[in-house]
């Protein structure tokens, strides 16, 4: 359709109320400071017809009229028309778009961006028009599945595209087959360049639009509430990528037929993973199963994914019987994944200070073989878990250990340490988890209240108290209104809970084994800077110790009540017998002399003696008002 002329699209074609805005207003906003201005005059863009509608807006086919001294031509373009954004948010949006536009220039595996414009008050992103997407191609195939060779080839193309964007600091967050476009050479190209993060946090005038940082079916656990269960990071895209590859291979969309709320329950709260076809090539299966680790630090990076696809794509699996999608079986990836990717992310160098690796989120005390050492040799360069030589103080010969068994310590910090920021900021927690420290001292920290990793210098940090799974915690006494709602005891005071999970930003998932709600153990989230550890030894006094015991399990209280009642009953019987014995013996001696009538009287006396320790109503119930039981 290139080369066609067309009149501006009449407003009646839109199915919704249009905001009438002066295009000059947008022009001023968008022709910002970037060198190549992305701004396209609305008069040269003419919408033809809509080809799709997604959670972030609609896609239209349009024509772009370009006129210079040398030529005058029309291009067919695809236009992503976003949901309306409030006027006061346009500056923020424009700054974000400018940055992305600049960074996307010249990337072969990312959809070509023409620029930005407006039509009828809505922001329009003009892109190169591609003939179709992988989603469209899947729809044409039997069962919606693509041949394995195609999946591997497209997978490698896409991983390259994602890596290109990641290397420029852009997270895509919306990887899915409909957003993978196909060029004239049947190469896959990324059709989204991070639109969710362009819009995230901006208030939209339409209150019905729920703002998510992606498309529910493809969203990683941390993507749902990045400030609380985050942060989002490059490995967030590994999850979406793996979902898309599984869908291409199996023809089944992850969590098909489930509502976003149901998906949230499954992925975020129940930690479920999408169905996983197991007849994938081993290296691809290995890397993809790692992509579904709950904690994004344990997922592979896009370089690892690209490596796996590159090495698998040239094998002729279609003829080797791998492509048996007719007999496709499914499984959920087993835990833990084949490889713990977090162990290999930091590439060690000679001269690095290292120590034995600490177990993540564990309270078990460890014996450190290497409390403090220096790498003096790397046995095999490039190997995933090669041997290294570590010089340890006090030992003559260097130790030869696997690189995965140690962690780098720079300026006294190692990835995984609990750290406290020296500067206070109400919006974020002051305590979090160190994700990385560069050799120059730049640090990245996961903190509650931050959607992405906090970046700073090691001098901004100090070591903080570490928390671990299984530890008991309670709110610090000086915290009256905690960041997250905390469970209360019967008396109204704050209860003590047990850490059941630690999220990558240090957010604690705390369970209250002593408290139940609708048959489920009560739980809440906690800011690590607001809690302190509680232990049996630290509880002062018998009452506090008992209260702490109650926190272990809901059954402790009924058990104690039952034991108390039983002990009291035994004691009562014992005391009762002690009191009754001399009297009954006396009566018995009389009975021996006076026959049956006196035997009855003796029985009555014994009953009264036994019942003396019972409260009057219970005694009456058992024995009546002074008379013998009827049976």
Q: Which residues bind ligand ATP (CB under 6 A)?
A: 51-59, 78, 111, 127-130, 133, 135-136, 174, 178-179, 181, 191-192, 215
- We find the least distance from the C-beta atom of residue 449 to ligand ATP, in angstroms, to be 27
Work out how close the CB of 144 gets to ligand ATP at its nearest, in angstroms, rounded to a whole number: 14
Give the separation between CA 209 and CA 71, rounded to whole angstroms.
43
List 454's β-bridge partners, or say none: 445
When the beta carbons of 49 and 393 are compared against ligand ATP, the nearer one is 49
CB of 82 to ligand ATP, least distance (A): 9
207 preceded by a cis bond (ω within 30 of 0): no
CA angle, residues 344, 164, 134, in degrees to nearest 5: 105
Minimum Å distance from CB 173 to ligand ATP? Answer: 10
3 state SS of 444? strand
Q: How far is the CB of 79 from ligand ATP (least distance, A)?
A: 9
Neighbour-count burial of 347, counting CB atoms closer than 10 A to its CB (0-12 exposed, 13-18 middle, 19+ buried): exposed
Nearer to ligand ATP, 193 or 512 (CB): 193
Report, in Å, the least distance between residue 176 CB and ligand ATP: 6
Contact call for residues 119 and 287 (beta carbons, < 8 A): no
Specify the residue, 154 or 317, whose C-beta has the smaller distance to ligand ATP: 154
Are residues 242 and 284 in contact, defined by beta-carbon separation less than 8 angstroms?
A: no
Residue with smaller CB distance to ligand ATP, 215 or 523? 215
Q: Of the two residues 53 and 67, which places its CB atom closer to ligand ATP in the complex?
A: 53
Question: Least separation, in Å, of the C-beta of 329 and ligand ATP?
Answer: 29
Instruction: Return the number of the residue (267 or 378) whose C-beta is nearest ligand ATP.
Output: 267
The full DSSP string for 190-255 is: ES-SSHHHHHTTPPPS-TT----SS-GGG--HHHHSHHHH----HHHHHHHHHHHHHHHHHS--TT
Strands 472-475, 497-502: pairing is antiparallel
Q: What angle do CA 89, 92, 98 make, to 5 degrees?
A: 135
Q: Which helix (H) or strand (E) is 287 found in, with range?
A: helix 282-290
Interhelix angle 282-290/234-250, rounded to 10 degrees, is 130
Half-sphere exposure of 625 (CA within 13 A, CB side): 0
Pick 55 or 456: Cβ nearer ligand ATP = 55
* Nearer to ligand ATP among residue 115 and residue 513 (C-beta): 115
Complex with ligand ATP: residue 195 or 284, whichever CB lies closer: 195
From 268, 235, 219, 230, select the one nearest 428 (Cα to Cα).
230
Closest CA to 482 of 421, 525, 424, 542: 525
Query: Which one, 209 or 363, has the nearer CB to ligand ATP?
Result: 209
∠ at Cα 469 (464, 471), nearest 5°?
A: 75
Q: What minimum distance in Å lies between the beta carbon of 218 and ligand ATP? A: 9
Q: Within 13 A of 345's CA, how many CA atoms are on the CB side? A: 20
Q: Report how far residue 533's alpha carbon sits from residue 468's, in angstroms, rounded to the nearest whole number.
A: 10
Least distance from ligand ATP to the Cβ atom of residue 140, Å: 13
Nearest distance, CB of residue 72 and ligand ATP, angstroms: 24
DSSP SS3 for 544: helix
Taking the complex as a whole, how short is the minimal distance between the CB of residue 106 and ligand ATP, in angstroms? 17
- Residue whose Cβ sits closest to ligand ATP: 54
Cα–Cα nearest to 213, from 232, 229, 234, 228: 232
CB within 8 A of 129, min separation 6: which ones?
A: 61, 76, 77, 78
Residue 199 or 228: the one with the smaller Cβ distance to ligand ATP is 199
- DSSP SS3 for 461: strand
First to last CA, the chain: 102
Closest CA to 247 of 133, 131, 112, 170: 133
Comparison of 172 and 587: residue with beta carbon closer to ligand ATP: 172
Of the pair 180, 294, the CB lying nearest ligand ATP is at: 180
Quote the tokens at residue 29: 């906003």
193 versus 413: smaller Cβ distance to ligand ATP: 193
Shortest gap between Cβ of 137 and ligand ATP (angstroms)?
10
Q: How far is the CB of 186 from ligand ATP (least distance, A)?
A: 15
Report residue 386 as tokens: 């090669």
Q: How far is the CB of 59 from ligand ATP (least distance, A)?
A: 4
């Amino acid at each position: 359709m290139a080369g066609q002329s067309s009149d501006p699209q009449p407003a009646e074609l839109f199915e919704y109320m249009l905001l009438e805005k002066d295009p000059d207003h947008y022009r001023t906003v968008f022709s910002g400071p970037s060198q190549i201005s992305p701004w396209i005059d609305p008069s040269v863009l003419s919408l033809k017809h809509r080809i799709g509608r997604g959670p972030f807006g609609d896609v239209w086919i349009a024509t772009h009229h370009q006129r210079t001294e040398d030529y005058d031509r029309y291009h067919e373009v695809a236009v992503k028309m976003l949901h309306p954004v409030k006027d006061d948010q346009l500056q923020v949006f424009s700054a974000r778009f400018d940055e992305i536009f600049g960074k996307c220039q010249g990337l072969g595996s990312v959809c070509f961006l023409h620029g930005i414009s407006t039509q009828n008050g809505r922001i329009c992103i003009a892109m190169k028009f591609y003939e179709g997407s992988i989603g469209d191609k899947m729809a044409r195939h039997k069962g919606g599945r693509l041949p394995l060779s195609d999946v591997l080839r497209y997978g490698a193309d896409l991983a390259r595209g994602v890596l290109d964007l990641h290397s420029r600091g852009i997270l895509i967050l919306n990887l899915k087959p409909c957003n993978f476009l196909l060029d004239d050479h049947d190469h896959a190209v990324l059709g989204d360049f991070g639109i969710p993060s362009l819009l995230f946090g901006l208030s939209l005038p339409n209150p019905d639009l729920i703002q998510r940082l992606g498309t529910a079916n493809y969203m990683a656990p941390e993507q749902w509430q990045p400030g609380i269960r985050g942060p989002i990071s490059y490995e967030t895209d590994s999850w979406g990528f793996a979902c898309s590859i599984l869908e291409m291979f199996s023809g089944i969309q992850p969590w098909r037929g489930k509502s976003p709320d149901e998906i949230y329950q499954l992925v975020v709260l129940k930690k479920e993973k999408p169905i996983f076809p197991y007849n994938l090539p081993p290296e691809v299966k290995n890397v993809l199963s790692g992509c579904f680790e709950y904690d994004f630090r344990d997922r592979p990076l896009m370089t690892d994914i690209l490596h796996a696809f590159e090495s698998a794509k040239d094998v002729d699996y279609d003829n080797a019987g791998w492509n048996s999608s007719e007999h496709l079986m499914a499984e959920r990836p087993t835990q833990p994944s084949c490889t713990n990717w977090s162990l290999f992310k930091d590439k060690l160098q000679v001269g690095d200070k290292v120590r034995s690796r600490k177990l993540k989120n564990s309270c078990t005390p460890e014996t450190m073989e290497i409390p403090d050492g220096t790498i003096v040799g790397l046995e095999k360069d490039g190997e995933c878990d090669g041997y290294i030589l570590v010089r340890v103080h006090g030992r003559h010969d260097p130790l030869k250990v696997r690189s995965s068994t140690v962690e780098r310590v720079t300026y006294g910090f190692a990835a995984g340490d609990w750290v406290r920021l020296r500067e206070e900021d109400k919006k974020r927690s002051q305590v979090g988890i160190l994700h990385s420290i560069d050799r120059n001292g730049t640090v990245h920290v996961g903190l509650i209240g931050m959607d992405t990793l906090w970046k700073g210098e090691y001098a901004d940090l100090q070591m903080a108290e570490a928390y671990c799974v299984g530890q008991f915690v309670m709110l610090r006494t000086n915290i009256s209104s905690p960041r997250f709602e905390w469970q209360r005891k019967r008396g109204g005071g704050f209860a003590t809970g047990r850490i059941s999970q630690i999220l990558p930003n240090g957010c604690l998932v705390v369970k209250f084994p002593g408290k139940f709600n609708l048959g489920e153990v009560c739980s809440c989230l906690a800011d690590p800077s607001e809690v302190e550890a509680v232990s049996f030894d630290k509880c002062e006094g018998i009452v506090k110790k008992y209260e702490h015991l109650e926190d272990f399990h809901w059954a402790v209280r009924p058990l104690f009540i039952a034991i108390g009642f039983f002990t009291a009953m035994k004691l009562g019987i014992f005391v009762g017998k002690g009191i009754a014995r001399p009297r009954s013996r006396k009566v018995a001696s009389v009975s021996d002399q006076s026959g049956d009538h006196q035997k009855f009287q003796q029985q009555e006396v014994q009953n009264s003696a036994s019942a003396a320790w019972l409260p009057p109503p219970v005694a009456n119930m058992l024995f009546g008002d002074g008379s013998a039981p009827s049976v």
